[in-house]
Amino acid sequence: MTLDGDVAIVTIDRPKALNALSSTVLEAIDDAFARIADAAASIRGVLVVGAGGRAFVAGADIAGMAGATPEEGRRSAELGHRVAARIEACHAPVIACVDGFALGGGLELALSCDFIYATDASSFGQPEVRLGLIPGFGGTVRLPRVVGPARAKELIYSGRRIGIEEAVASGLVVRRFADRDALLAGARETIAQVAQNSPVAVANAKRVLVGAAGRSTDEAVAIEIGGFGEAFGTDDMREGVAAFLEKRSPGFSR
């Protein structure tokens, strides 16, 4: 994890294996987000990127899975889910910046971020069934929420790879960019916009959005009501409303 002003950059750095997620890589991501949580007050956004220019992440480490037992398989899925929970618990927006392959566990990692920005050179897929596996790091849970259950089933059963056009059309990718430099600049620009707003309110909105995902309407509404009520107890809400009424810029907490 490196810091660029108030933006944290988490780089998946194992380019020789197209950044495949070994348990060492997953532990390193977990550790990076633990450090981000410790430095929360100074971080307004997080970019997750892949090193090497060919891949975001080409999946879980296939070599490491050869010969694993069902118990070991369950444990690796649990580790993946722990990392996803850590990312979802991050106070600030986390943008998956995909430039190249985002496959299997790589797409699942991207899906555990708040949203995905990607370059024209990117491709996406859940190819696990081609290996006799199934998605184990949230693909059956988060992919249907983002692209809809039918499209998720089609992608998971076929294992086919989709390019940027289809990824954008399906809502998987929120914004596309010509190349990596434009991608990173666009992601930083978005974080700069976020940083204009109340950090307390952004964290509150994220908690509500993440907490409500997959719940019944009644439960989700109760979570939103709770978060909305909480906002009224914050200095940032008093400052934001006062600034609007006094026709001045707000000075939010840091």
Instruction: Give the span between the Cα atoms of 166 and 108, in whole angstroms.
Output: 17
Instruction: Count CB atoms within 10 A of the CB of residue 185.
Output: 11
**Is 230 in the active site?**
no
Specify the length of the chain in residues.
Answer: 254
Of 51, 207, 36, 196, nearest in space to 114 by CA: 207
76 forms part of the interface with ligand CO8 (CB under 6 A): yes
103 forms part of the interface with ligand CO8 (CB under 6 A): yes
62 forms part of the interface with ligand CO8 (CB under 6 A): yes
236 forms part of the interface with ligand CO8 (CB under 6 A): no
Partners of residue 10 on adjacent β-strands: 48
20 forms part of the interface with ligand CO8 (CB under 6 A): yes
User: Taking contact as CB under 6 A, which single stretch among the options 13-21, 214-222, 224-232, 240-248 is the one that binds ligand CO8?
Assistant: 13-21
Q: How many helices (H) and strands (E) does the chain have?
A: 11, 10
Nearest approach in angstroms of CB 156 to ligand CO8 is 11
155 forms part of the interface with ligand CO8 (CB under 6 A): no
**Is 239 in the active site?**
no
Task: Specify whether the CB–CB gap between 125 and 159 falls below 8 A.
Answer: yes
Q: Could you say which of 12, 18, 97, 187 contacts ligand CO8 (CB under 6 A)?
A: 18
80 forms part of the interface with ligand CO8 (CB under 6 A): yes
CA angle (199, 188, 61) in 5-degree steps: 100
- Judged by the rule CB under 6 A, the positions of this chain that interact with ligand CO8 are 17-18, 20-21, 26, 58-63, 76-77, 80, 101, 103-105, 127-128, 131, 133, 135-137
